[in-house]
Chain A
Amino acid sequence: MESFVIGLTIFVLAIFVGFEVITKVPPTLHTPLMSGSNAISGITLIGAMISAGSQHTMLTTILGFSAVVFATINVVGGFMVTNRMLKMFQKKDR
């Protein structure tokens, strides 16, 4: 129970941090914000890695492996496409 309360505390505080930081993002960057934050939500990858690598049962391994593939598409694709978009915004800044 204790660890759950700690988790919940972190969850609520992080939501506040998120609101504070993200309300300051200008509308012009809303698409990169979506794809970038989307890539961050791919953090579930680390849970997937543990499931794929711990080899408890066939089922957990298959689920873990599929999750690794899904999450990596999300992470790698998300950060790369965000980078591509943001560079377009930056090159006009000279």
Chain B
Amino acid sequence: MSATFINLAYLLASVLFIFGLKGLTHPRTAVRGNLMGALGMLIAVLVTLFNKQIISFELIIAGIVVGGAIGMVLAIRIQMTAMPQLVALFNGFGGGASALVAGAALAESGAIGAASMTQMLIATAASGIIGAVTFWGSLVAFGKLQEVITSGAVLFPGQKAINILLAATAIFFGVMVILNPDVMLWYWLTVAAASLLGILLVIPIGGADMPVVISLLNSYSGLAAAATGFVLGNNVLIISGSLVGASGLILTNIMCKAMNRSLTNVLFGVLGPSEDSAVDDIYEGRIKSTSADEIAMLFDTARRVTIVPGYGMAVSQAQHAVRDLTNLLESRGITVEFGIHPVAGRMPGHMNVLLAEANIPYEKLKEMDEVNSNIEQTDVALVIGANDVVNPVAKTDPKSPIAGMPIIDVDKARTTVVIKRSLSPGFAGIPNPLFAADNTLMFFSDGKKAFTDLVAAVKES
């Protein structure tokens, strides 16, 4: 098969990828879009088998069988609540593969004595650096999300300086690759420095900032593929890589905006408790604790209920119990909506996936602005496992670590019920005056149990 034909097939694959992503703009067309992407990939892989450079198929087939089996098992067995860590892991493998391919290409041109062009060598170094950062950064993100390692921020003195030094070292080794393409050692040193950098960049990032990091690593995995495309002179890699790179950057930007923080601040800034002493003053004597029966009585007169989920819903696996309550309330003529903050959970869209898993129609999942526009007509706002994203301090205290972050204004609902195990602060480490507000009731319970109890209480009343 001629090279022209192979390249035309790659073009077809690229077009299918673009149509596939376009399909993702609506839930109705999304499944088909994803299948188009998969078809594009299949075409690209099949025509690659006709590449004249390939003289043996055993290893390719073995690799695909092994990788395919691992990927399949992971994809089928993963719990929806664990989706963030799985995406992080897949990201990492993609980035790692790009760095390996660039390394192989470099070794190959060394072996056959071909003189590599400078721009290809630059791309090789870039692919090695971005790929290694993506691989190790993603593994650390996976470890944190899976709680294999601490999910909190790991901080040590001089962290920033060390990172800058490591980045400079990786770039220096990268330049050496370009100057001495025959010495593979420089490439491995580049990869080693970038690997360490990837680990240290993600280690200081705490749980609630994960959506930003995963989006950013997503973008990197695309850029690594694009860089590898420059190394191999392969357009389909460049196109797909830049599509993914753009996608990750957009998501990163959305996440940063939703926290009113710059990317630099998320990556290098430190969130910490401002004044702990104020905690007692804020909560002292103002917390009203409630029970399932009391909340059921609230529902008796309610016409509109808004549920605001956060990471706590994922932790307690409460999504199915939430669905049961939703159905029950709707059967009594109450309108139930969900208010989803962009950074609720551990990755973009995390809450939506969990609620979709529990069969809650996506029309009910409202974005922050839409929910806020009719929050005053809401009779009961139920907050489950969310904290910082409903903290009114973001609006009132310009010195607070979450100052200026857009929030869901549940404090403006007629009654707000916060389901939470204790009064402990959220990720930002600051107390939440919402808990002490006059129209707020605290329901101290595990998320799933709370909803199960509510369903029982509503049925009885």
Contacts and interface: CB of A to CB of B under 8 A. Distances in A.
Interface of A: 1, 3-4, 7, 10-12, 14-15, 17-19, 21-57, 59-61, 63-93
Which 9 A-B pairs have CB atoms at the shortest separation, nearest pair first?
A72-B67, A18-B246, A68-B63, A77-B71, A30-B349, A53-B54, A76-B71, A30-B348, A80-B75
B233 interface: yes
Contact of A25 (B24, B87, B245, B350): B24
Contacts of B250: 19, 22-23
Q: How large, as a class, is the contact surface on chain B?
A: 35 or more
Interface in B3-52: 13, 17-18, 20-22, 24-28, 30-31, 33-35, 37-38, 40-41, 44-45, 48-49, 51
A39 B20 CA distance: 12
Given A73-B70, A79-B38, A47 B101 contact: yes
A36 B54 CA distance: 29
A89 B59 contact: no
A29 to B, nearest CB: 6
A12 B3 CA distance: 24
B388 to A, nearest CB: 18
Contacts of B224: 41, 44
Nearest to A24: B25
9 contacts: A25-B24, A31-B83, A37-B248, A56-B112, A63-B100, A77-B74, A81-B78, A81-B86, A87-B31
Interface in B336-387: 340, 342, 347-350, 352-353, 356-357, 359-362, 365, 367
Most A-side CB within 10 Å, residue of B26, B63, B222: B63
Contacts of B40: 40
Interface in B175-215: 184, 214-215
Contacts of B78: 81
Q: B interface, by DSSP: helix, strand, loop or mixed? A: helix
A83 B34 contact: yes
Given A32-B30, A37-B222, A71 B97 contact: yes
B239 interface: yes
A45 B232 CA distance: 12
A30 B68 CA distance: 24
Given A63-B100, A77-B72, A86-B27, A45 B359 contact: no
Contact of B222 (A33, A41, A50, A93): A41
Given A38-B94, A68-B63, A85-B83, A53 B57 contact: yes
Contacts of A55: 55-56
B239 A10 contact: yes
Contacts of B353: 31-32, 85, 88
Contact of A38 (B24, B35, B87, B348): B87
